[in-house]
């Protein structure tokens, strides 16, 4: 027996009793009596989500979203809106790239909206890891594609949505500092529509593999 605010490896913060569990990410405080202001997330709920992020998500994504394995994306400093949309996409099994199916469909299956919001807030608040280093020529070519697109192939500039410095904006994800291998895999998944995003399919469908490699190397090298 133990308290419901325990430290188990359950992913949801919105376990019983729901009336006292607080929505950390959305900064909605339901319960009074803890001396918190209404715009602060409950400390216990925040601590629980932090523990989930470090001890569960962190096995693959790194304790602060600073994954060292290129198979798993870096989440530190990622746009919270984007993270929420992805976690909901995993939960709804609408994001269909191979690693999403193998790993995240299961991991996200029991997440409630409050936990998703809190996890997204946790990662958005983490300091992005130092950028990786790519080959100079490849990075230069990637910079060109990122900034100007590949007009001859009808590929628009990435920066027009993801921001000039690739740090994301609105619902568009941060790409700066992301593992090149992960970016490359996502571009391939957009191209094949396994990850079925119409806009990105349009962008990626005419990208050649060497272009993808270049833009991925450029992004990994960005702070």
Partner 1 sequence: MPGRTMVQATRNLATTAILASALLAAPAALAVPSFARQTGMACEACHTVFPELTHFGRVFKANGYVLSNLKKVRDVSGKKEELLELSQMPPLSVAAQFSYTTMKKAVPDLSDAGAPGVAQQGTIGFPQQFSFFYAGEVAPHFGAMAQLTYDSAAGTIGIDNTDLRFADEMLLPDSGTLTYGLSLNNNPTVQDLWNSTPAWGFPYTASNAAVTPLAVAAISGPYAQDVAGLTGYLYWNESLYAEVGGYRSAQQGVTNALTGAAGPLDGTASNVLTGINPYWRLAYEHDWDRHTLEVGVYGLDFKVYPGGTPSAPSPLLGPTNRFNDVAEDVQYQFIGEEHLFSVLGTHIHESMSLDASFATGASANPSDTLTTTEMAATYYYRRRIGGTVQYFSTTGSTDTALYPATAPGAPGVVTSANGSPDTRGWITELNYLPWLNVKVTLQYTWYSKFNGAGNNYDGVGRNASDNDTLFVVLWFAY
**Positions in 149-188 near partner 1 (CB under 8 A):** 181, 185
DSSP string, 133-190: ---HHHHHHHHHHHHH-BGGGTBPPTHHHH-TTS--BTTBPP-TT--HHHHHHHHHHH
For residues 109 and 46, give the distance between their C-alpha atoms in angstroms, rounded to a whole number. Answer: 20
Q: Which of 16, 37, 130, 170 binds partner 1 (CB under 8 A)?
A: 16
Minimum distance between the CB of residue 214 and partner 1, rounded to whole angstroms? 19
Cβ neighbours of residue 120 under 8 Å, at least 6 residues apart? 25, 78, 80, 81, 83, 84, 87
Q: Which of 23, 25, 57, 64 binds partner 1 (CB under 8 A)?
A: 64
**Positions in 29-58 near partner 1 (CB under 8 A):** 50-51, 54-56, 58
Count of beta carbons in the 10 Å neighbourhood of residue 88: 15
**Positions in 73-102 near partner 1 (CB under 8 A):** 101-102
Size of the site for partner 1 (CB under 8 A): 36
| Binding-site ranges for partner 1 (CB under 8 A) | 1-4, 6-11, 16-17, 50-51, 54-56, 58-60, 63-64, 68-71, 101-103, 105-107, 109-110, 181, 185
């Amino acid at each position: 027996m133990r308290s419901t605010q325990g430290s188990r490896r359950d992913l949801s913060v919105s376990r019983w009793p729901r009336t006292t569990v607080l929505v950390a990410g959305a900064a909605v405080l339901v319960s009074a009596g803890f001396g918190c202001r209404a715009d602060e997330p409950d400390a216990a709920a925040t601590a629980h989500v932090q523990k989930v992020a470090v001890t569960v998500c962190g096995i693959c994504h790194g304790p602060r979203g600073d994954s060292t394995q290129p198979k798993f994306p870096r989440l530190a400093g990622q746009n919270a809106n984007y993270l929420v949309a992805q976690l909901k996409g995993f939960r709804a099994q609408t994001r269909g790239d191979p690693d999403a199916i193998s790993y995240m469909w299961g991991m996200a299956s029991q997440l409630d909206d409050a936990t998703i919001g809190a996890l997204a807030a946790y990662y958005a608040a983490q300091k992005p890891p130092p950028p990786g280093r790519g080959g100079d020529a490849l990075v230069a070519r990637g910079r060109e594609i990122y900034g100007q697109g590949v007009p001859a192939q009808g590929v628009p500039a990435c920066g027009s949505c993801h921001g000039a410095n690739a740090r994301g904006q609105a619902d568009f994800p941060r790409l700066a500092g992301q593992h090149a291998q992960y970016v490359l895999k996502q571009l391939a998944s957009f191209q094949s529509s396994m990850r079925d995003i119409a806009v990105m399919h349009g962008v990626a469908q005419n990208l050649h593999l060497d272009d993808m490699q270049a833009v991925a190397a450029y992004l990994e090298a960005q702070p």
